[in-house]
Structure 1
Amino acid sequence: MKNILVVSGHTDLEQDSVANKTILENLKQQLPDAVFDLLDAQYPDFNIDVKKEQEKLIKADIIVFQYPIFWYSMPSLLHRWVEKTFVHGFSHGSKGKSLQGKKLIASFTTGAPETFFANGGIDHMLYPIHGICNLCGMEFKGYVYTGGVSYQLRTDEASLSQIKAKACEHAKRVISLINTI
């Protein structure tokens, strides 16, 4: 059995998300044994409990980062979580072997349509993820991306339904990617 850790890096799932919230709800249904780490609920003050988070990472075989792209990068809360938990001596360095061999999947959304990131735009946003994996000896197993799901588009029921449908399809693709590992 694969031990799966899903780390939600959205800074405010309840108020500012339809897509990421729907993706996580679907993943919870499909992955009842997975650990879901909702950073915005646990650390609204960005005060990360490093030991607790590192323990979750140690137990995981597969780590899924679930987040929206904010300004061409992961949200500040997820970035802070990585800064605090992926430290020398734990995740990398001569004695930092805790994450070696673990699999990482990036699962992310953008408010802008997917065509906005054509011609390699997504690849550029994944450089930090690749760097994390390389430094820590983790295996990058790919990504699942859905664009055009801005919370600002939820202006009517039809738009909201379209965002939710895209998010449900996104979750299915994450499950499919996990199942290949």
Structure 2
Amino acid sequence: MALVILAHPTFDKSLANKIIIKELKCSNIDVEIRNIHDLYPDYNIDVKAEQEALLRHKTIIFQYPFYWYSMPAILKLWFDVVFEYQFAYGSKGDKLKDKNFVPSFTVGSSQSSYTALGFQHFRVYEFCKHLEQTAYHTQMNYIDPIYFYGTSLAAGYTENEIKANAKHHAQKLIQKLLELGE
């Protein structure tokens, strides 16, 4: 069974992330989905409950929209309080050792904007180094991020394009989970 930490502040309005979660639920893979915005609308995260969820799973997927070249605030807070000293790191902090760390996110802009000469000036993976280091620091197995571009209606993408790409994204995620033995 895989754990999905879903961190979308407006999940009810999402096209892409809703489809990804729906496809995961409909797959043959057993997943536990923790929508941390629904669980903690006041941002008062139950650290022990979240740590217990992490301990139950070999693979942890972090599903979210790419916000300001990073993650939504609640997911950053989640990492800050859940990956605590002597749980995730430190002399006795090996509770996440050998678990799979899978970033899975949606990017509103186009792929061409995430180039040296594009509007964003950097490739998406360059913004993910903090995720990779977090995985290494906690002795987790970092899995390269699974993401896709063009998830924003405001950026000119159509609903049909977004839905089709989200389904494709979900299939890539499901395939990765199967490869990881989930």
Same fold (TM over 0.5): yes
Paired with 1:167 and 1:133, the residues of 2 have a C-alpha distance of: 25
User: Aligned partner of 1:12: which letter?
Assistant: T
Q: Tell me the secondary structure at the aligned position of residue 144 of structure 2.
A: strand
Q: Deviations over 1:107-164 (max 9, x none)?
A: 1111101221235511211111111111100001222111111153588xxx212211
Distance in 1, Cα, partners of 2:164 & 2:59: 25
8 Å contact 2:106–2:147 — kept in the other structure?
Answer: yes
User: Among residues 4, 7, 16, which one is paired with 1:6 in the alignment?
Assistant: 4
Q: Do the aligned residues in 2 keep the contact of 1:40 with 1:77 (CA within 8 Å)? A: yes
Aligned to 1:68: 65
Residue 108 of structure 1 contacts residue 146 of structure 1 at CA under 8 Å; is this kept in 2? yes
Q: How does 1:92-131 map to 2 (within 5 A)?
A: 92-118=89-115, 121-131=123-133
Residues 1:168 and 2:167 aligned together: yes
Partner secondary structure for residue 93 of structure 1: coil
CA distance in 1, matches of 2:153, 2:129: 26
Match 2:75 to one of 75, 78, 90: 78
1:22 is matched with which residue? Answer: 19
Instruction: Give how far 1:8 is off.
Output: 0.7
Name stretches of at least 5 consecutive residues in structure 2 with no aligned partner.
117-121
Letter in 2 for 1:149: T
Deviation at 1:88, TM superposition (A): 0.4
Paired with 1:48 and 1:22, the residues of 2 have a C-alpha distance of 26
Instruction: Classify the secondary structure of the residue corresponding to 1:37.
Output: strand
Unaligned runs of 5+ in 1: none
Residue identity matched to 1:143:
P
CA contact (8 A) 2:29 2:174 kept: no
Instruction: Give the corresponding residue for 2:141.
Output: 139
Q: Contact 2:20–2:170 (CA<8 Å) still a contact in 1?
A: yes
Greater mean deviation of Cα atoms: 95-104 or 109-118? 109-118
**Partners of 1:170 and 1:32 in 2: CA distance:** 15
**Richer in helix (by share):** 1
Deviation at 1:9, TM superposition (A): 1.3
Return the alpha-carbon distance in structure 1 between the equivalents of residues 6 and 161 of structure 2. 22
Q: CA deviation at 1:33?
A: 2.1
Identity of aligned residues (%): 33
**Residue 50 of structure 1 contacts residue 84 of structure 1 at CA under 8 Å; is this kept in 2?**
yes
Return the offset for 1:94: 0.3
Query: 1:48 aligns to what SS in structure 2?
Result: coil
> Is the contact made by 1:68 and 1:108 (CA closer than 8 Å) also made in structure 2?
yes
Indicate the SS of the match to 1:81.
helix
Question: Conserved in 2, the CA contact under 8 Å of 1:64 and 1:107?
Answer: yes
Q: What SS does the aligned partner of 1:55 have?
A: helix
Offset at residue 49 of structure 1 (A) = 0.7
Structure 1 CA distance, aligned partners of 2:32 and 2:156?
29
Any idea what SS the aligned residue of 1:107 has?
strand
Change (3 A) 1:160 1:154: farther
